[in-house]
Chain A
Amino acid sequence: MLSSLPELELEEWLVCFMYVLKNTPRTTVQSWMNLEPPKRRLNLFNVIDLSVKTFVKGGLSKQIDFVALDIIAHYLQHYGSSVEDKDEASPLLKRITFTLQRIFHKGEEQLDNTSSMLSVLFATLRLLLNTCPRPIFADVQSEFVETLIYELMRQCNHFDPTIRARAAALLYLAISVCPLP
């Protein structure tokens, strides 16, 4: 099992994985995702999540988070609308929301995410809310929604006016797409 490897070795495997993933052409990533069954696709996101979890401090952590957000956004762009229809996709969505939560928490631990990181994170969240609002607000995701709303409200006080505006707009979007019970 990958996560039971000693930390030093695990970091080496994962950093190489993320380097290749970062630079692989997105068309290749897409054709790969098209060919893989959902279980293997889930596995890709498991490895991404493990990378986000493993690298916590320093510049490398930021780069890993950017790659993770990029791949998540790419996935949502192409498969987001199909998530609602398929039951097997829900563990994947759960994993994605878990990764996003980790990135949010990292920002909290390091006092604050940088403006560039928040912009990319918000763009991914906007995509998530627009493409699959129903599963996001389902009961199983309540912890994610809790973190999302809390962080958005916190970022509404950000020193950068652009981030404040984006956080407020995203909060409004979250309220407007929330399906009525």
Chain B
Amino acid sequence: MKRQHATSPLFQTFKFLFLKILSQYEHYVPLNLPPHNFTVTEAELAQLGRAIKDNHALAGLMLDEVGYYFQLAINDPKSDSLLRTQLMIVLRALFVKHESDLRYRNRICQERIATLYFPYLLTVSHRVLHAHTNNVVCC
């Protein structure tokens, strides 16, 4: 369903609930096929979001939503904050699950899982560019 048809808060709350159920699934990590060796090249950097979405479906879905709502947060920080917080709580719960999962306690597993969410770093650091460049001393 296209996003413009899905702007009602109730619909969005249900969407986040659906994402939460998906992300709390026991075999969420294997379903995402975390990458083995991951190096970023210049050409890849621009297309990374698309590549993650194509190859690692569930993490891609999550990143897609997070990217969309991050843009909304940057455009209009004060409105719909509670709604965005709901999504971020889902993402945070997912990360807590990854970190506390006994199957993935070692460093290599954690690194492979975090690689799935690497585009999130790009989303945040690229899109706040204009917000902070003129404000070095105090943000």
Binding site for B on A (CB under 8 A): 1-6, 8-9, 12-13, 15-17, 19-25, 27-28, 31-32, 35, 39-40, 42-44, 46-47, 49-50, 53, 91, 94-95, 98
| Cβ B129 vs Cβ A40 within 8 A | yes
| Cβ B133 vs Cβ A39 within 8 A | yes
Given contacts A1-B128, A20-B121, A95-B136, contact A32 B84 (CB under 8 A): no
Binding site for A on B (CB under 8 A): 38-42, 45, 70, 73-74, 77-78, 81, 84-85, 88-89, 91-92, 95, 99, 110-111, 113-115, 117-118, 120-122, 124-126, 128-129, 131-133, 136-137, 139
B interface secondary structure, majority: helix
| Cβ A5 vs Cβ B88 within 8 A | no
- A–B pairs, 28, beta carbons within 8 Å: A1-B77, A1-B132, A2-B73, A2-B77, A2-B131, A3-B139, A4-B78, A9-B85, A9-B88, A20-B114, A20-B120, A22-B114, A23-B114, A28-B38, A28-B39, A31-B40, A32-B45, A35-B42, A39-B129, A39-B133, A40-B126, A43-B125, A43-B126, A44-B125, A46-B128, A46-B139, A47-B125, A94-B137
| Cβ A19 vs Cβ B115 within 8 A | no
- Name the A residues within 8 Å of B121 (CB-CB): 17, 20-21, 24, 32, 44
| Cβ A13 vs Cβ B88 within 8 A | yes
- Name the B residues within 8 Å of A44 (CB-CB): 121, 125
Q: Which residue on chain B has the smallest CB distance to residue A50?
A: B139
- Name the B residues within 8 Å of A24 (CB-CB): 111, 114-115, 118, 121
- Name the B residues within 8 Å of A25 (CB-CB): 38, 111, 114-115
- Name the B residues within 8 Å of A91 (CB-CB): 136
- Name the B residues within 8 Å of A19 (CB-CB): 95, 99, 114
A44 → chain B, closest Cβ, in Å?
5
| Cβ A27 vs Cβ B126 within 8 A | no
- Name the A residues within 8 Å of B95 (CB-CB): 16, 19-20
**Most-contacted residue by chain B among A1, A13, A21 (CB, 10 A):** A13
| Cβ A15 vs Cβ B92 within 8 A | yes
- Name the A residues within 8 Å of B41 (CB-CB): 31, 35
Q: Give the docked Cα–Cα distance between A45 and B8 (Å).
A: 36
- Name the B residues within 8 Å of A46 (CB-CB): 128, 132, 139
Given contacts A28-B38, A43-B132, A49-B139, contact A1 B74 (CB under 8 A): yes
Q: Give the docked Cα–Cα distance between A27 and B40 (Å).
A: 9
